[in-house]
Structure 1
Amino acid sequence: MKERDGHIELKRFHKQWRAYALISHLFIALAISVLCVAIFRRFEQVSFLWTIPVCLVILGIMAWWTGLMKTSTRDIGRFLNQSFPELEESADLLVKPAESLNVLEKLQVIKIEDKLSNISASRLFSKRLRSSALVLLAGLVLAFGISTLTFSRNTVNANSANKTIIPTVPDKILPGISSVKLRITPPAYTRRSPKTQSQFSVSAEEGSSLNWQIRTTQRAKNIKLIFNDKEAIPLVSANELGTLWSLHKTVTKSGFYQVDLGGTLSDLYKLEVIKDQPASVRIIRPAQYSSIDFGEPQRTSLQVQIDDDYGINDAFIAAIISSGKGEGVKFREQKLSFQQNFSGAASYKLNKTIDLKGLGMVPGDELYFYVQARDSRLQESRSDIYKVTIQDTAQLMNMDGMLGGVNLVPEYFRSQRQIIIDTEKLLKERTSISTEAFNSRSNEIGVDQKLLRLRYGKFLGEEDESEIGGHQEETSDPADFGNPEAILDAVSHKHDQAEDATFFEPELKAQLKATLSEMWKSELQLRLYKPAEALPFEYKALRLLKDLQQKSRVYVAKTSFKPPVIKADKRLSGELDKIVQPQNNRIIDPKDNSQNSLKLTAGILAAKKPGRTLTASEIVTLNDASRLIASRAASQPASFLGSLGILRGIIRSGSAAKVPQRDVAELEAVLQKIIKQESRSPQAQSGTPANDLAKEYFNNLKRNR
């Protein structure tokens, strides 16, 4: 009876372990599913209700992976044996049938049954549950953080998409102004929605409409906005109390402005206009200069990447087909469209296969094309011009131009042509001859190709097939270590080395090596009885040879000179009064006074002392520098507006010592940036009396000679 009770107790532990393990898996699956949904919400707006099915799927995977349902009471007994030494590694005896136990095993079962009822296995199982609960808590915290970051990221992306950066540092507002509301309406081409801010500094798209609403604490007589120290626009009162004022303006260029409230000027506020850039068109494939050899498909794959600030409205391919040669060349223009519906997205990756035969091109023709795009503001931009050529095999077989010029390469061009002629003849007679004769003739052509390749290899120092491709490296002998002759042999120049025994330029040598490589491929296919596959390599080798022959020519341009007619009555007369000495006149502009004011301003800032006030002349100099910096700030407010405010603050205070050292350092850096290097102008040499005396002595010596 006690054996039965022990077995029941072990089953109870088994069920308890399964329950704790299932709850632990559920906590972990819930943590993973919440994190996955939170991360996915960064890209798509989905509901957190998706956590339930995702959690069930993960829970099923974990239960199958860990074998939760396959765990038996015997496994629980082993687990208890490892966790509780007092069971004496005998808990698995409770699983065995009573009749199968011997006397010692029965005594051991009776001994451990009392201990089994006293152990607290639930406390052991709950440790895993506590760890899973901590994982769930951490997952919930991370999911909440990711959701919060997602909202901030979307806000930043929306601001970036609208091309507007809201200032993080609040503007200094005049005491008489209680609030400001600035509504920015981007132009239609941006496809952006209007936005509102409560600061004066603004960054807006080019052509945006700005609407200011300024509310004052008391009734105001008039309010003006002064743009770039030049244009003053009064605001219109929007209520009877005179405390709400409004102004509407369309901005097209950057600058700065101030608020004039009854004669009191505010700080300088940035007015940054973001220019709309034309679309960027980049052709990824094909290469800028490509050619289609014999046997290759007469088509080219085009891959284009187009990006724009706000959106693409249209894009097409402008193709120009050139056919003929010399004075008989003809051009045809054609417009090719992409299989793409442009919906105004900011980026497109376009693909198109251009069928050259469908365009009416034949061997020898050339295709020039570029991609043109139009953005949402109807600004047009285009890529570079790309060229695709279909090689003309008939022109390669032409013998024109082979006899003229200085030819540094061997006169074996006809042999390669003969190989091509023999190969094409063999292909035409393939159906009329036996297989043995076909294979034999293909092998014979391969032998001819080998002989031609070896002939050209001699010009690269390859005397036999063992040196194909250049000089072979030799392994060093350990016995040569420290041998001076071996060291000199490795670094000295030798005329009998295969790599250097040539009279070609490096470019010609590289092209000749490429020709030998094509001959290798042609010979391989001919030896395999595949002349049709060898023909493209033969044509390419011939094309490289012809190009090599043209590069080795020496061209001398014709020159002609027609001397002036010599008058016989003036010849040898010795009259030189009509010969005028040439003069080179140069006008030197005076120095820019604005540069002097900037330099003087830098000196005033460097000489500041505590308690020292500016003089009247120094204030005039600072005002001149202020006007120059203001002209720069009108075009680049982000770079010069802060320095302009610092300089005007120094002028108002009447002393540079009252300004923080950090602001003065910033102003000095801007001054050094504006001050440009003066060009040196010709000046008279100033010599000392000793130099003048030496010069006079030297002139007298020359005169006496």
Structure 2
Amino acid sequence: MSPAAIISTWTGPARRRGLFNDLLLATPVALLIAALGWAIAGPMTGLVLLALAAVIIAVLALRRAARFDRLWLTRRLDGVRPDMEDSAELLFADPAGLGVLQRLQRARLLDRLNTGSPAALVADWSRRPILILWAVALIAVVAVAVWPRGVNKPVTLSPAAEGQAAPGVPALVGQNLRIYPPAYTGLPMRDEAKLDARAPQGSRLEWTLKFDPQAQVPAMVMLGGAPLTLTRSGDNWVASRTLETSFLYRVDPAPGRAGTPPLHRIDSIADTPPSVKVLSPTGSLTLVTAGQRGWSPVFAASDDYGVAPTARLRITLAIGEGENVTFSEREIALAGSGPARDRRFSPRLDFTALGFGPGSDMVVQLIVSDQRAPAPQVVRGPSMILRWPSPKKAESTGLEGMVNTTLPAYFRSQRQIIIDAERLLTQRRRLSGDTYIERSTVIGNDQQILRGRYSKFLGGEEEGEPELPTSDGAAHSDDDGHDHGAPAVRTQTFGGPEDVLAEFGHPHDDSPASSLDPQTRAILKQAVDEMWLSERELKQGRPDLALPHANKALEFIKEVQRATRIFLNRVGPELPPIDASRRMTGKREGIAGRALAVAPVETGDGPAADAWRALGQGPEAVRGPVALDALERWIGANSARLPDPLSLSGAVDAVRRDPDCAECRNHLRALLWTAMARPPAGLDRRRTADAAGARYLNAIGGGGQ
């Protein structure tokens, strides 16, 4: 017998037993899943889940049956048959490549093999797991079959109140609106006797209508949208729709044969995102106490329909001080406690496991999501900071100044610029070209701000026009009519450094740069030069070319930080000088006017304003027809900011149906007044002076106005 025939003969029973055993174990699981789908989402969902589970089970069972191969047979024969003498591998070897003793042993094994049966190698059934799974599945199927479901609840029509039509014209006499909220809300199905309702977004709406006499082609007209199709079911007419946004509609039993039916309103209730608040600690910054080895902040998450049972805690560690700070970020999963709509999350953070030590900051942020399907809303809570102060303290002396071992806060942001640039490079493939350049420019602006701080520290210039030392609106000149006095006489020496500086520049003796020694100042100058090169590349959308310069600037800063000491002058506030020549003179020439020009505010409420004027009745009203089409387009374009766009659309429809209805016109005009944007606060004229004020103004020569 060939090796292939031996494998096929002796593995066939075991393969069939394993295949059927796996099917018996997996089939009740598929039935259980299908039953749950049937109960939650209806029979179609249950059938789809059953078919999908059957395919998955068949594929997995066939793949598991493939484990009965030559290797399995060899091990099984050696383990079950002692007469194989642990030599079953010889049964499948090529006789031509065996020695004399091996061929003799192989012949003996073949003779012994024929004395046994392949059924002896078959494993026993998994009786206990099979019985348990089938019992659970049958109980679930029976429960689903007998459980009362809202889907099977008969529809009870309520009398309609839309008035009677003309004789022989169909009229709406019975109505029912059934609402199926989304499964994630946990809300039950409900029936509404009226055709106006409020329902969660994503709900399925089903209308059941009855007309007397029987209608032929009734219609459900959506205001500003496509009509909804009505299908006849016995004596009733039914329609269904998924609620995504709020809308207005009317039921027209006989289009064109009767008056216009009233409007009905369906409001969509959007699922609000969950909210996160911190219960403990009460402050956003907490300091580590002596002997503390862990931290347990307490968060509370709430949602209108329920928070997901698990959340993520983002932990950011900042270890080190100054520019020698290393950042690490990780996320851990948390299990909440309490009811679904108000869960509590209280992690236990161990300092040793996280690597948190003195001179470090730990920032934690809870990230939660609700149970909305198919796209849960994710919300990040407030950040809480735990600070472990460094044992190092600044040195001080009695000198007229301060002696620090580190530089001021100007030199603490270069590393963050490098981190932002590296992060932008990793996101390059996921961003569009414009977005990539825009983010690079933002980082370049940060680099520019930091470079300006360094330059200012070194005595560099500030951009912008200089401010006047007084509150005058314009600078003085030789022909402004003021008495400036005789010009000062100054003797100049050609080439003198003080004269060149006085004529073409200004001294920097009192700037922060004077507190730096020449070597430290030279190193900082190199850092500023590298920052300028980094800024140039970043603003051109090339962060990869900017990183080398940014890293060099960081190295120069670290070199400065390794300096022994930096002496900073102690200086007081520098107030602008006062022009004493103008005091107590009463001269007002040259003082800039402080009157603010009132510029008209351009808004997009032109159609609404025109309609509001046209709907008026007083002398200020603009006579003429109301542009309702333009008003409807304005409502559609501004629906996001309007307080109630549906009410406004309904009022427009009422005026369109009955242009002579004074009540409808007044109602629309009132709604337009509340919908238009409020003008900014105006400038009130000064109140006219009374008798005493007029006498005072006349006394000082200002007149009485």
Structure having the higher Rg? 1
Which structure features the higher share of helix residues?
1
Higher relative contact order (CA 8 A, sep 6+): 1
Fold shared by both chains (TM-score > 0.5): no
| TM-score, with structure 2 as normaliser | 0.40
TM-score by length of 1: 0.40
